[in-house]
Amino acid sequence: MCGIVGYIGSQQAAGIILDGLARLEYRGYDSAGMAICDGEKIRISKSVGRLKVLEELTHNGETMPGCCGIGHTRWATHGEPNTTNAHPHYNTDETIAIVHNGIIENYLALKEMLTKKGYQFQTDTDTEVVAQLLDYYYDGDPMMAITRMLHRVQGSYALGILFAQHPDRLFAVRKNSPLIVGKSPNGYLIASDVPAILKYTRNVFYVDNQEIAVLKQDQLNFYNIDGDEIEKEEVTIEWDANAAEKGGYEHFMLKEMYEQPKTVTDTLLPRIKDGDIVIDELNMTDDELAAVKKIHIVACGSAYHAGVTGKYVIEGMARVPVEVDLASEFRYRNPILEEGAMVVVISQSGETADTLAALRESKERGFKVLAVVNVVGSSIAREADSVLYTWAGPEIAVATTKAYSAQLIAMYLLAMKLAKVRGKIDDVELSAMIEDLKCIPSQIEMLLGNEKRIQRFANRYVGAKDIFFIGRGIDYSIALEGSLKLKEISYVHSEAYAAGELKHGTISLIEEGTLVTAIATQPELYPKTVSNIVQVKARGAFVLAVTTEGNDDIEKNADYVIYIPQTNPYFMNSLAIIPLQMFGYYVSVGKGFDADHPRNLAKSVTVE
């Protein structure tokens, strides 16, 4: 959500900032702006809409000279998306400028206090309060003003700050909202995510909560909230810079779907050694793992759906009870965490606000937390007791595909490890499962080869108003993710139902011509799902069935069938989701939408 880029160095800042913001477009935004200090004044340009408008307004930055600046793409929270509310924001006399990701929770109280002291506000945002509060505390010493401001402000924030009286410095502050500092040969950069600066450097520092970074052209210092200097470790980013480019594909989402075979391979193979599952990152002995009495999986969105799959697989394979919670509900329901429980949090970005809060609450209660994340050095990765990385590389499209597939692999590996140490599967069974997993990348490639057939089918449903997904067991978790993929990028109303619940009310929604996508990959549940297909067909539904090869009899009842290769039933989600991802993508494209940047959505949800 929102994006921050800043630069100070020997080059012109505006072009670098615009380039960095373009690489953060996937995060979602409705306006953009930047502030450049030319050595005397801070000049701001802002616009509503896509970043291209700001580029045209500033002639690609050429009208804003200066070697120090900050930029921002805003996803509106306080105040409608317009030029006035767009970032950056000034203080009253335009000598301080800031950009902000996050939410200032006590901004109304601070605004009231400042108004009584004569300050006038020009915007509806919570962010302007920070600019005016800095002005209130500023007496010529920027660090003093920033540290005093931090002691008053409540909420989440990543801030980039300029002071006109100190044109040789760029300040960055962070609490509960991601922020990194990059070190390049020509200066220093700040950004809210790695892709923004990969073109310029791979050497970064992760800013932790309530820390301040002071950047100069040739110097970098870090301080805590009290202004004491601290040391930070430099980290080298191993991502392939080309992974953040489209590489000839029309959309990042399409490119990332085609990257799933590699993602699965990269996540899987390092954990298979000498015919066994080895997950060194768990930091647990086999005896400790076998002693786990219960697992709580906590996540949001698609990561939650991966967690639902994890529940079915872990319980079925390892016979460990599992609860799955939406992170936004977990801590507010005052969950009961019994002795012997382990908490597993899943997040692509490693910055998801609700998931991070759940992690912190679990740790405060004394429970071990395993994080399944994709971004090395992210907040969740740093704060968890152990991390199982999903090696998907940078995922740019808002709608996840390859990171979700990697999360599934992580769930399978965890389940197999648990099952082995608890004696629920033997070496022969484990070996067979490993061989099935090794086949998944090539099977995904085969399914991706059906692109044209799925595109033709999707074109028939570009005008659909309602589409339903049904399944049982693991197939229900597939239905959840397939439905989400469709609705978030095509804006078609879509719902997923446990197929057995149809007769309890939801079948009343079926009418003549309604598309029902039925997933039927689980052998034990297959006859019951076919029965549900018959029920919706009798009420006029058009049925798209996704099932395994060999289930040819389904053609008697389904109108259109997509067959997927045979694999262990526990792993079916990794294959069945591929045609559903492609279906959602091509409905979106057929409707003329930007599949990478769905309206109202952001890639990384860093506020509650």
- Position 230 scores a pLDDT of 94
Tens of pLDDT, residues 102-112: 888 898 999 99
- Position 51 scores a pLDDT of 87
- Position 243 scores a pLDDT of 63
- What distance lies between CA 419 and its chain's CA centroid? 29
The answer to pTM > 0.85 is no
* Domains of the chain by start residue, with CATH: 3-237 (3.60.20.10), 239-448 (3.40.50.10490), 449-592 (3.40.50.10490)
Tens of pLDDT, residues 548-584: 999 999 999 999 999 999 999 999 999 999 999 999 9
Instruction: Give the catalytic positions in this structure.
Output: 2, 603
Tens of pLDDT, residues 436-495: 999 999 999 999 999 999 999 999 999 888 899 999 999 999 999 999 999 999 999 999
Report the pLDDT averaged over residues 99-128: 91
Whether the pLDDT of residue 415 is over 90: the answer is yes
Q: Return mean pLDDT, the chain.
A: 91
**DSSP secondary structure string, 88-116?**
PEE-TTS-EEEEEEEEETTHHHHHHHHHH
Give the model's confidence band at 240: pLDDT under 50 very low, under 70 low, under 90 confident, else very high.
Answer: low
Other CB atoms within a 10 A radius of the CB of residue 449 amount to 9
- Position 600 scores a pLDDT of 67
Q: In angstroms, rounded to a whole number, what is the distance separating the alpha carbons of residues 239 and 604?
A: 18
CB 47 within 8 A of CB 33: yes
| Type of residue found at 162 | L
Q: In angstroms, rounded to a whole number, what is the distance separating the alpha carbons of residues 458 and 294?
A: 41
List 403's β-bridge partners, or say none.
Answer: none
Strand ranges of the sheet holding 493-498, from the earlier edge strand across to the other edge: 493-498, 466-471, 515-520, 542-548, 560-564
Tens of pLDDT, residues 20-50: 998 887 666 788 999 999 988 999 999 988 8
Higher per-residue pLDDT: 79 or 57: 57
